[in-house]
Structure 1
Amino acid sequence: MSADNCGGNASVPLRNLLNSIQCVRDRVRDGESNESDGAFNLSNFWDTLNQAVKAVSQEATKFSLAFSKPPLPSQQDGEKLAESILKSVLTLSTVYYWLPKSQGVSLRRQVRDATVQVLEGVMQLVEVILSSPLQSLTQEQLTSTGGVWSACDQFAQLPKDNKAAVLVVLSAQSGVVKDAIEEVEQALTESQDPFSDVLDDDQEEDEARDNQDMYWSEKDRRVIGPCQGLMKASAACLRKLMSAVKMHGDVSLPQNVAQLDDLADITKELSPGIDDLALCLYPPMDCSEVDNNLSKLAALLKKALEIIRSSHVCGESDLTWVQFLDGAVDHNLQKARDLIQQDS
C-alpha cells in the first residue's frame, strides 16, 4: 500500500480511518453484547440497524466518489470524509451491540457476521483508494464500492429472530450432509476404482489395477452399507428437525430460545462427523478407523436425538421419528461392527 497515491498529507486521515475501522471490526468480531435487564424490542432493533446499514452504504458511496477523479480532496476535506464514514461505522457497531444473547446466540452470530462483512468491505475500499493511482476511477475501486453495497444488502435477507436463524443453520447443515452422502454413492456406482480419474498420465493402467489397495473389496462394500445407513439417518434427522422447528419453534420464552441454540449447536457437530466417516471409507479402508468414526457419529446422532426429544420443538407426533431414528442408529452400528469383525 503506497501512501503517495493520496498526495502527501491527504493520505494521513485515510490511514487513521483504516486503523480505526480495523479496531471496530476486531471488537465486533470478538466482543460480547451489552446485556440489559430491561425489555428488548426486537422490531425497533431491526429498524435502527437497517437505518445504520443504509447510512454506511451512503457514506461509502460519497467517500468513493470523492476519490474517483481529480482534484483530490484536501487534507481538511479528507478528514471530514473520514470522520463522516467512521461515524456511520461506529453507529452500526453500536446498534449491533444492542442485540443481547438472550435473543439467541444463533441470531446474534449471523448479525455479527453480516456486520463484520460490512466493516471489512469498507476497509477494503479505503485500502484500494490508498493504493490505487488516482487519475481515474479504477475497476478495483468500483468493485470494492460494490462490495460494500452487497454486504449492506445482505441485511435484508438476515433472519429476524432466533427461530429463523436456527432454520438457516439447519438448512446449511442439511446441504453439507446431503453432499457427503451423494459423493460416497457416486464413488460406489461409478467405478470399481474410485481413484481412476486421479492416476498419473504416465502410469500404466495395468500396473495401477494391480494395486488392490486402490479399490474396494467385497467386504469393504458390505461394511460401507450400514455406514451409509447411519449417514442417511443423520440426513433424515436434520430434515425432520427442520420441520419440527418450523412447526413448534418458539422464541417467546428465554428457555425456548436457548433450546433452539442447543439444537443448532449439536447439528453443527453432525456434518464434520459425517465427513470424517465418509473420508475413511475410501480405499484402502482401515476397519479400525471406520469403527472409530462410526462410533463417534452414532454417539453424536444419539445425543442430537436426545436433545430434540427433550426440547419444546418435539411434539407427540415427532416422538415416532425420533424413536425410529434412535433404533436405526443402533441397528446400523451393530451391523457394521459385525461385518468388520468377520474374518478379522
Structure 2
Amino acid sequence: MSADNSGGDVSVPLRNVLNSIQCIRDRVRDGESNESDGAFNLSNFWDTLNQAVKAVSQEATKLSLAFSKPPLPSQQDGEKLAESVLKSVLTLSTVYYWLPKSQGVSLRRQVRDATVEVLEGVAQLLEVILRSPLQTLTQEQLTSTGGVWSACDCFAQLPRDNKAAVLVVLSAQTGVVKDAIEEIEQALSEAQDPFSDVLDDDQDGDEPRGNQDTYWSEKDRRVIGPCQGLMKASAACLRKLTTAVKANGDVTTPQSLSQLDDLADIAKEISPGVDDLALCLYPPMDYSGVENNVSKLAAVLKKVLDIIRSSHVCGESELTWVQFLDGAVDHNLQKTKDLIQQDT
C-alpha cells in the first residue's frame, strides 16, 4: 500500500491477518483430520462446508471493494474487515478438519487441495492490496479477487464421496495415457524421417546423411509395436477399472473405502510409467532404456491387476478382462525383449 496514504495504519491489521492465513494454509496443507469415533454425516459436512466457502467468497469481495477506491477505510473499519476475513477462513479450515480419513483418503486429498487453493487465493489478495496504490483498482487486484471466486466455485465440482473421488483420479490418469499413445501414433504416421523438414538435406551425393539417429530404423519400428501394445493395455486397464468402480464401488464399509484408495494410489503409477516408456521410444532409440522402461511399466500393470483382482470391485465379469490383460502384459513384455535381442 503506497506510503502517501494518510490512513497507513490500516495496513497493520491486514498484514496480521495475512500472516495468520498463511499459517492456517500451511497447517491445512500438512495437517491431519480430527478422527472421531462418533457417526459422521457426510451430507451435513457438505452443507456446512459450502456455506463456509460462500462466506469466504463474500468476505474477500467486501475486502476488495473496500480497497478499490478512496477513501481508505479507517483503522477501525480495517480491523473489522480483517477480523471478518479471518473468521471466515478459520471457519472454513475448521469444517475441512471435520472430514475424517475414514471417509476415504482420495476424497480428503481433493477437499484439502481445494481448501488450500481458497486460502492461497485470499492470502494473495491481501498481498496485492498491501502493495497496491489506493488511488486505482489495479488489474492485479481484480485478478486476485477473481482467483478467490474461482477457487470457491471449484467446491461445487468436488466429488461428494470416495468413490467419486477415485473416479476423478482414474479419469485424469486415462487422459494422460491417451495423450501419450496418440503422440507416438502421430509420430509414427509421419514420414519415414520425421525430422526431414527441419534438417538440412542439401548434401553432396557422395556424402551420406549424417543424422541417422534422428529417425527410426526398421528394427526401431518393430520394437515400438509391442511397446505400443503395452501402452494400450495400460489404457484398457484404466478404462475397465473405471467401469468396475462405477458399477461396484462401495463406500459403506472401512474395508471398501480403503480398497478404493489403494486402487487410486496404484493407478497413479500407470501414467508416469507410460510417459517414461513413450519418451524413450523417440530416436535415437536406446534399447537398454526401452527394455528397462517396458519392464517397469509391465511390473506396475501386474501390480494394478493384482490389486483389482483382490478388491471388491472385481466380480466374475471383471475377472475375465483382468486375466486377459494380465496375459497381454506378459506377451508384449516378452515380445519387446525378443525383438531387442535380435541381431545383437
- TM-score w.r.t. length of structure 1: 0.96
CA contact (8 A) 1:4 1:11 kept: no
Structure 2 unaligned blocks of 5 or more = none
* Counterpart for residue 316 of structure 1: 316
Cα offset for 1:166?
0.2
> Are 1:63 and 1:81, in contact at CA under 8 Å, matched by a contact in 2?
yes
> Closer, same or farther in 2 for the Cα pair 1:332/1:269, shift >3 Å?
same
2:143 maps to which residue? 143
Query: Does structure 2 retain, via aligned residues, the 8 Å contact 1:128–1:141?
Result: yes
Is the contact made by 1:53 and 1:92 (CA closer than 8 Å) also made in structure 2? yes
1:192 deviation in Å? 2.1
- Whether contact under 8 Å (2:162, 2:257) holds in the other structure is yes
Alpha-carbon separation, structure 1, partners of 2:159 and 2:167: 9
- Cα pair distance change 1:47/1:196, threshold 3 Å: farther
Residue 90 of structure 2: aligned partner: 90
How many residues were matched structurally? 340
Instruction: State how 1:164-175 maps to structure 2 within 5 Å.
Output: 164-175=164-175
Say if 2:107 and 2:165, in contact at 8 Å, map to a contact too: yes
Structure 2 counterpart of 1:306, one-letter code: D
Q: Could you say if the C-alpha distance between residues 315 and 126 of structure 1 is closer, same or farther in structure 2, counting changes exceeding 3 Å?
A: same
Tell me, in whole angstroms, the C-alpha distance in 2 between the residues paired with 1:33 and 1:253.
19
SS in 2 for 1:38: coil
Letter in 1 for 2:108: R
Q: In 1, Cα distance between the equivalents of 2:246 and 2:82? A: 45
Residue 289 of structure 1 deviates from its aligned partner by 0.7
For residues 87-134 of structure 1, the C-alpha deviation after alignment (integer angstroms, 9 at most, x for no partner) is: 000000000000011000100010001001111111111111111111
Once the two structures are overlaid, the 10-residue window that deviates more, 122-131 or 256-265, is: 122-131
Distance 2:75 2:128 in 1: 18
- Which residue is equivalent to 1:57? 57
Which residue does the alignment assign to 1:259? 259
Consecutive unaligned residues of structure 1, counting only runs of 5 or more, are none
- The answer to whether the 8 A contact 1:5-1:131 is kept is no
Counterpart residue type for residue 107 of structure 2: L
Which residue of 1 is the match for residue 112 of structure 2?
A: 112
The corresponding residue for 1:99 is 99
- Give identity over the alignment, percent: 86
Letter aligned with residue 236 of structure 1: A
Q: Residue in 2 aligned with 1:33?
A: 33
Give the TM-score, by structure 2 length: 0.96
Q: How does 1:201-216 map to 2 (within 5 A)?
A: 204-206=200-202, 209-216=209-216
Q: What is the CA deviation profile of residues 158-196 of structure 1, one whole-angstrom value per residue up to 9, with x for unaligned ones?
A: 000000000000001000000000011111111223345
Q: Which amino acid aligns with 1:204?
A: D
SS of equivalent to 1:40: coil
The question of whether the paired residues in 2 share the 8 Å contact of 1:238 and 1:267 is answered with yes
Residue type at the aligned position of 1:99:
L
Alignment of structure 1 residues 111-190 onto 2, 5 Å: 111-190=111-190
1:299 corresponds to 2:295: no
Separation in 2, partners of 1:232, 1:5? 63
Deviation sequence 1:261-316 (CA, Å, 0-9, x none): 00000110000000000010011111111000000000000000000000000111
The worse-fitting range, judged by mean Cα deviation, of 206-215 and 294-303 is 206-215
Q: What is the rounded CA distance, in whole Å, between the counterparts of 2:78 and 2:144 in structure 1?
A: 19
Question: Within 2, Cα distance between the matches of 1:6 and 1:334?
Answer: 77
CA–CA separation in structure 2 for the residues paired with 1:192 and 1:37: 65
Residue 282 in structure 1 maps to residue 278 in structure 2 = no
Hey, what's the Cα distance between the residues in 2 that align with 1:120 and 1:141? Answer: 14
Per-residue deviation at 1:37?
Answer: 1.1
The amino acid across from 1:33 in the alignment is S
Q: For residues 221 and 314 of structure 1, do their structure 2 counterparts lie closer, same or farther at Cα, with a shift above 3 Å needed?
A: same
Give the SS at the match of 1:73.
coil
> For the structure 1 residues 277 and 131, does the alpha-carbon distance in structure 2 shift closer, same or farther, using more than 3 Å as the test?
same
Cα deviation, residue 77, structure 1: 1.1
- How far apart, CA to CA, are the structure 1 residues paired with 2:66 and 2:128? 13
Contact persistence 2:177–2:271 (CA under 8 A): yes
Q: Match of 2:240?
A: 240
Distance 1:19 1:223 in 2: 56
Partner deviation per Cα, 1:237-273 (whole Å, 9 max, x = no partner) = 0000000000000000000000000000011000000
